Amino acid sequence: MNTSLVRKGVVVLAVAGLLGTTVTTAEAGPPRNGALQEKLDALVGQFPAALATVSRGGRTESLVAGSARLGSRVPVPADGRVRAGSNTKTFTAVVVLQLVAEGKVELDAPIERYLPGLVPGGSAITVRQLLQHTSGLPNYTEYLGVDDIAKLQHRYFEPHELLALALAHPAKFAPGTKWEYSNTNYVLAGLLIERVTGRPVAEQITDRVIRKAGLRNTYWPQAGDQAIRGPHPQGYARSGDEVIDVTELDPSWGWAAGQLISSPGDLARFSRALLDGKLLPAAQLAEMRKTVDAPLLPGWRYGLGLFRVPLSCGGVYWGHGGDIPGFETRGGATDDGRSVGLAVTALPGTYGDPEQGAQAVVSAVDTAFCR
């Protein structure tokens, strides 16, 4: 799938002999998510560890499988912190839509109005098209060298460096004529937030979203912060013929498109708070949920920083997901009160077939919602 910050390669390797456990965080009673636990245990064939948090009917459970560290039997922390990757886009989109509600930004105004002279053809690209990935702007991660993660792992980038990488290449298509995922759109959204508010995007996301939603395990790493604070599993990525530990990584190349650290539980809580109207007025939430076809998997559609994903048991969930070296995250929430966050500690393709790995994660999320 192309919902990530990176492009995946194909590698075949096996992971064996790892732990599989269930941790219940509800008040009492045995775990109810046996089917999901089986899915998480099966994921350990392609990922070192898997973590999930499921909420429904007033009950929340956190489940884990695998080992927090390759080559050892280290318990995976329940609801441990992970790099959230492109889930950051939804946080960024929420702040932009809050500014729309405050009358400081117009969704259908050109980005040229807010960032004059910065984007070639910016008078024809609207704020909505940036948030919806219909701008046609090239994706800077295609030119970043992410496939050689060992060289990129500790490199710091300024947002304008990322933008320059993209804008050195021609547009992919005319604005509004097609959907194509591009992290460049959200670098521009972050710059828009900073220009309109006069404050750093990290501060705006923290104050307007993270604190407002009551997220305890979510934070924006500051410049130079390469670690993951608090309990967390290690994350792994392939570099050439080796699998390396990329838990410590400079996430600045993700910026407003992918810099956040969170946990499966916090990602589920964020989605729940969003759908429950705690972060946006009804009018802006409705705009966020206006979708176009996103041809990644059958039935998938994209709104403003938000995927609409069909469920095998009927209905849909709303969420995002993120891929960044070391971690893949998926999940979201339904209108009837269910919410799910799931993470694995490598990208699909690190330890097996990338398509099979990606499908296995999607299937596990579907099971979390439907069983």
Mean pLDDT calculated for residue range 248-275: 98
Q: Which among 4, 55, 67, 86 is annotated as catalytic?
A: 86
Cα separation of 259 and 93, whole Å?
14
Q: Report the pLDDT value the prediction gives residue 32, as an integer from 0 to 100.
A: 62
Tokens of 151: 């060289």
What beta strand segments (E) does the chain contain?
A: 20-23, 49-56, 59-66, 82-83, 236-239, 242-245, 261-262, 292-293, 301-302, 307-310, 316-319, 322-324, 327-333, 339-344
Residue 140 has pLDDT above 50, yes or no: yes
| pLDDT classification of 240: cutoffs 50, 70, 90 | confident
Mean pLDDT calculated for residue range 232-246: 95
CB 81 within 8 A of CB 231: yes
Mean pLDDT calculated for residue range 26-40: 71
Mean pLDDT calculated for residue range 3-24: 36
Mean pLDDT calculated for residue range 283-296: 97
Q: Report the pLDDT value the prediction gives residue 33, as an integer from 0 to 100.
A: 79
| pLDDT classification of 16: cutoffs 50, 70, 90 | very low
CB 182 within 8 A of CB 135: yes
DSSP, residue by residue, 39-71? HHHHHTTTSSEEEEEEEETTEEEEEEEE-SSTT
* Amino acid (one-letter) located at 116: P
| pLDDT classification of 28: cutoffs 50, 70, 90 | very low
In DSSP terms, which residues pair with 193 in a beta bridge?
none
Residue 91 has pLDDT above 80, yes or no: yes
C-alpha torsion angle, residues 62, 65, 47, 80 (rounded to 10): 40
Q: Report the pLDDT value the prediction gives residue 158, as an integer from 0 to 100.
A: 97
CB 51 within 8 A of CB 79: yes
Residue corresponding to tokens 């702040």: 95
| Mean confidence (pLDDT) of the chain | 92
Which of 369, 353, 352, 309 lies closest to 53 in space, CA to CA?
A: 369
Residue 17 has pLDDT above 80, yes or no: no
What percent of the chain is predicted at pLDDT more than 90? 88
End-to-end CA distance of the chain: 24
Helix H, strand E, coil C: the string for 174-241 is CCCCCCCCCCHHHHHHHHHHHHHHCCCHHHHHHHHHHCCCCCCCCECCCCCCCCCCCCCCCCEEEECC
Task: For residue 86, indicate whether it is catalytic.
Answer: yes
CB 312 within 8 A of CB 370: yes
In DSSP terms, which residues pair with 293 in a beta bridge?
301
Q: Report the pLDDT value the prediction gives residue 5, as an integer from 0 to 100.
A: 54
In DSSP terms, which residues pair with 64 in a beta bridge?
21, 51
> Considering the entire predicted model, what is its pTM?
0.93
Cα separation of 45 and 273, whole Å?
33
Within 13 A of 156's CA, how many CA atoms are on the CB side?
A: 7
Cα separation of 136 and 116, whole Å?
18
* Segment 177-231, tens digit of pLDDT: 999 999 999 999 999 999 999 999 999 999 999 999 999 999 999 999 999 999 9
